Structure 1
Amino acid sequence: MRLKMRGLLAPLAAALIFIYLSLPAAAAAGNGESGEKQIISLEKAVSMAVQNDKGLKSALQEIERTRSLRESAQENVSFTPVEGGYGGPYGPQIEASWIQLLGADLNYRMSQRTYQANLDALALKVCKAYWDVQVAQQKVAVQEKAKQQALLNLQNTRAAVQAGTAASSSLAVAENLWRQAEDGLTAAKHSLDDAYASFNNLVGLDAGARPLLNEQPSYSPLQVANLEYEVQRVLENDPNVWKARQNIDIKRWSAEMMYSSGSYTPYDARQAELKQAEYNLENVKEAMAKATRSLYYQVKSVEENYGAAVAALEAAREKLRVEQAKAAAGMNTRADVMAAEVDVAKAQATVDELVRNHAYLKLAFEKPWAMSSGG
């Protein structure tokens, strides 16, 4: 069973990991006596999650269960009908056994596709959880910088009030901003703890573990020559669309067999079931096509915001360079430089979060069903 799981994981890793990311082959270093933190690459995180996920283990058992049921149904078929052929009614037993075999065969093949879809979904969830930790870490760093700024402003305000160059009311404002900065840092740390808890739960680490997740996604715009071609690609590979299409084939057989259910079923009822299956296929295709187009436009929206965010970061860096030059010439204060440093930190965090969100959406656009399969 382990060999089967590895075989199914290989195309997943290729599609969801190596296409968009440059992943080093570094193995995770365990916590040793030296107290080194565990370093986990994104590829390693996916592998750990696969080994840890109980849902995947259950899905493997479902493959074995449906395989066994299919073999049992096969043994009950003593005659193979011809679709569209005319041999008179085949008889209740033959028709019922044949439809049961078709259904069992569909369930078996669907269980295999469901397992692969669950793998896709798990990889996507791991990517998001991995990057969510990085986002939370960066927000903590920004809040720490903001706290330093608030403390410096508070110290300067106290000195100004004591020197009589500032009103006493300004001290209350500075103290309030300081408390807000402290609260913001506390909240950011709580968010980081929550992000780590989600990641650790996926990969099977203790809740209190704090591994180093240093692998950063790279930014490259999504290249799509024809959106409708991509929509069709998704519809051809979506396991839910595939199942709905296969179900129509079964209903088509049932429509020709009055005893397919094991007892007599009126012709109109059988035709209605076939129509229902056809409508269901169209509904599933429309929903997946809509999701695919939506993901495409989300990616493009992030790309537009990315350009503006990079420009804002460059402006913030230029302002910092100016403030540092002024400080060197004695033309401003440390507070002015600190404010510019905070602006750079915030602008950098905005850019980095957009890059991570962009990478996630690109992965989701490859296999949109992974988002719904992931819950």
Structure 2
Amino acid sequence: MRKILRKILTAFVGALLIIAFAVPTAIAASSKDGNGTGEVISLQQAVDMAIKNDETLKSALAEIDRTRALRENAQENMSFTPVEGGYNGAYGPQIEASWLSLLGADLNYRASQRTYQANLDTLALKVCKAYWDVQVAREKVALQEKVMQQALLNLQNARAAVQAGTAAASTLTAAESAWKQAEDSLTAAKHTLDSAYTTFNNLVGLDAGARPLLQEEPAYSPLDIANLEYEVQRVLENDPNVWKAQQNIDVKRWSATMMYSSGSYTPYDARQAELQQAEYTLETVKEATALKTRSLYYQIKSLEENYSAAQAALSAAQEKLRVEQAKAQVGMNTKADVIAAEVDVAKAQEALDELVRNHAYLKLAFEKPWAMS
């Protein structure tokens, strides 16, 4: 069983990393900026490490063994297989109760396998998000470092201007306030990076203080589907929550025909009500799943609509920086003008990269929405 599940896992992870994004080869290099100084960890390696480290998966595997044993025991208690429909009370209390016990045990066993796979899906998606969250946080630190550099230069210029009598004291006050704000923002960004690393390290089993290099970034590619309703149906057919609700109806349908299925007499109206409740539950689960799938689709499309604008903003910022650098070479502007343009490029690049990562994450979630549970 464990070997079979491992094969399922390998197939899933491979599909996960191929379907939603193209992963470039990791660069084995060290960083000197303090944002990552340890070993290079690829996204695939991170998923593998998380699987070995996750206690929930280990418990889910044990649950498969437990429910299999219970099912085998329930099977041994059955002398023959009843026929569904039209035999209300014909088999007697013991046979009816044993049969429903077997159906329940069989459902629990099959559900435990589905639960294990769903846990794999959820864990893989968590690792992807945690991996990219570290990259987002690292870029924000780099951006705030550039903003801090800009604020410090502006503060130095303001001090010089006030001393020379070419600027009012209020100019220096404003520059000092901006520098302090930049300093606080940088400190906050570093804390966010530490928090992102803590989350990632906890998932993959590394020490809290580890700072591995997480360099694989998602490549942007629009979501390409021919029909949204077809995708909604695909998800409904594969969602483990929908499956469990449907299987429960099958058990309740048997129960509705057996007055002693619970081990004691159960009135007909009560058994029919239980069947109706199971049917209502299925419809509720299906509606929620379909709603989540459509919501993910529109979130993805919204990001795609903003992608071109983000690219254009980056291109404009880069062109402005090129102009400012050219002016600086001939003495037509100041260092502050160049740094301001560099900050704009850093902001535009960070915004574009975060959009791409969010897009990649949502594409993965769209493939298996239940993994977000």
Name the TM-score, length of structure 1 as normaliser: 0.95
Aligned ranges for residues 314-325 of structure 1 at < 5 Å?
A: 314-325=315-326
Match for 1:105: what amino acid?
A: D
Query: 2:39 maps to what in 1?
Result: 38
Query: 2:313 maps to what in 1?
Result: 312
Q: Distance in 2 between matches of 1:182 and 1:265?
A: 70
Superimposed CA distance per residue, residues 104-154 of structure 1 (whole angstroms, 9 cap, x where no aligned partner)? 000000000000000000000000000000000000000000000001111
Task: Report deviation, 1:87.
Answer: 8.3
Aligned ranges for residues 89-128 of structure 1 at < 5 Å?
A: 89-128=90-129
Q: Distance in 2 between matches of 1:346 and 1:28?
A: 27
Superimposed CA distance per residue, residues 218-277 of structure 1 (whole angstroms, 9 cap, x where no aligned partner)? 000001111000000000000010011011111111111111111111111111111111
Unpaired runs of 5+ in structure 2?
31-35
Q: Distance in 2 between matches of 1:29 and 1:274?
A: 61
Query: 1:189 maps to what in 2?
Result: 190
> Is the contact made by 1:24 and 1:41 (CA closer than 8 Å) also made in structure 2?
no
> Is the contact made by 1:28 and 1:44 (CA closer than 8 Å) also made in structure 2?
no
Match for 2:268: what amino acid?
A: Y
Task: Report deviation, 1:4.
Answer: 3.8
Q: Distance in 2 between matches of 1:131 and 1:69?
A: 42
**SS of aligned partner of 2:174:** helix
Query: 2:51 maps to what in 1?
Result: 50
**SS of aligned partner of 1:258:** coil
* Residues 169 and 28 of structure 1: CA distance in aligned 2, closer, same or farther (over 3 Å): closer
Aligned ranges for residues 144-155 of structure 1 at < 5 Å?
A: 144-155=145-156
Q: Distance in 2 between matches of 1:88 and 1:181?
A: 78
Query: 1:8 maps to what in 2?
Result: 8
> Is the contact made by 2:88 and 2:258 (CA closer than 8 Å) also made in structure 1?
no
Superimposed CA distance per residue, residues 283-340 of structure 1 (whole angstroms, 9 cap, x where no aligned partner)? 0000000000000011011111211111111111111111112112211111011100
Task: Report deviation, 1:23.
Answer: 3.9
What's the % identity of the aligned pairs? 77
* Residues 357 and 26 of structure 1: CA distance in aligned 2, closer, same or farther (over 3 Å): closer
> Is the contact made by 1:234 and 1:368 (CA closer than 8 Å) also made in structure 2?
yes
Aligned ranges for residues 1-375 of structure 1 at < 5 Å?
A: 3-23=3-23, 37-86=38-87, 89-372=90-373
Query: 2:33 maps to what in 1?
Result: none
Match for 1:14: what amino acid?
A: G
* Residues 24 and 165 of structure 1: CA distance in aligned 2, closer, same or farther (over 3 Å): closer
Moved more, 51-60 or 3-12: 3-12
> Is the contact made by 1:222 and 1:299 (CA closer than 8 Å) also made in structure 2?
yes
Match for 2:16: what amino acid?
A: L
Match for 2:72: what amino acid?
A: E
Q: Distance in 2 between matches of 1:143 and 1:29?
A: 23
> Is the contact made by 2:23 and 2:218 (CA closer than 8 Å) also made in structure 1?
no
Q: Distance in 2 between matches of 1:227 and 1:108?
A: 33
Task: Report deviation, 1:2.
Answer: 5.1
Q: Distance in 1 between matches of 2:22 and 2:111?
A: 32
Name the TM-score, length of structure 2 as normaliser: 0.95
* Residues 49 and 249 of structure 1: CA distance in aligned 2, closer, same or farther (over 3 Å): same
> Is the contact made by 1:323 and 1:337 (CA closer than 8 Å) also made in structure 2?
yes
* Residues 224 and 161 of structure 1: CA distance in aligned 2, closer, same or farther (over 3 Å): same
Q: Distance in 2 between matches of 1:81 and 1:87?
A: 11
Superimposed CA distance per residue, residues 34-88 of structure 1 (whole angstroms, 9 cap, x where no aligned partner)? x972110000000000000000000000000000000000001112111125486
